[in-house]
Amino acid sequence: MTITLELPAHAGAIESLLDTAFGPKRHSKTVYRLRRGVEPVADLSFVATQTAEDGTERVVATIRYWPVMLGKTQALLLGPIAVAEECRSLGLGQKLIRHSLARAAELGHRIVILVGDAPYYVRFGFSREKMLGLSLPGPVDPNRFLGLELVDGALDGVTGTVGRVATAKPARVALPAAAKRIAPVTRLPLPAKADAPVGGAVAVSAGGGRRRLRRAAR
């Protein structure tokens, strides 16, 4: 399996994965209203693909990020993340999260928020601790509203309601020259252990990690 950037050709397969994981009513959720009319961050939209013996490629996992505002502070909203049922024992969810968070940090992003199960997301550094001054524009269990600082102190003093960005397309983060030279799609060997940190686009090995999809960010 390979983790690579999402392409337009993957759109149908991604929607099918999300329908299976969360159902058609997902569009009424608060986090989906924040995404409406806004494009996901292209540099952080990844898929895991599986190549069959006949050479055909199949999307088996997806993760996306969206630009949001925390008052006047820019941030990323993680989710949805979904994995095909037959691949949920391979640790793909963890690999996608670690890979995309590492890339977000490389691109200069400072804050990531999500709505998901805290016992699952604490392993990636998410917590409620610095989110107490923030709220979402709709009903959400506050214990599932989590944040992560990619830069120490990025959430200090940040308060207000999470809002949509003013434009339909996210602004690109200005990159240092070194970051611009990083290729978005490469292949690197991964250890079998699901919790291993991931950097760059990768070829994914099986093994480890049996967390259920119900923990996924929606």
Residue 218 confidence class, pLDDT cut points 50, 70, 90: low
Distance CA 101, CA 217 (A): 14
Residue 139 CB coordination number (10 Å): 7
CATH number for the domain that contains residue 129: 3.40.630.30
Name the residue range of residue 90's domain.
2-215
Residue 1 has pLDDT above 90, yes or no: no
Q: What is this structure's pTM?
A: 0.75
Tokens representing 202 are 């990768």
Summarised one tens digit per residue, pLDDT across range 17-32 is 998 888 877 777 888 8
What's the total number of domains in the chain?
Answer: 1
| Residue 124 buriedness (CB in 10 A; 0-12 / 13-18 / 19+) | middle
Summarised one tens digit per residue, pLDDT across range 119-156 is 999 999 999 999 999 999 999 999 999 999 999 999 99
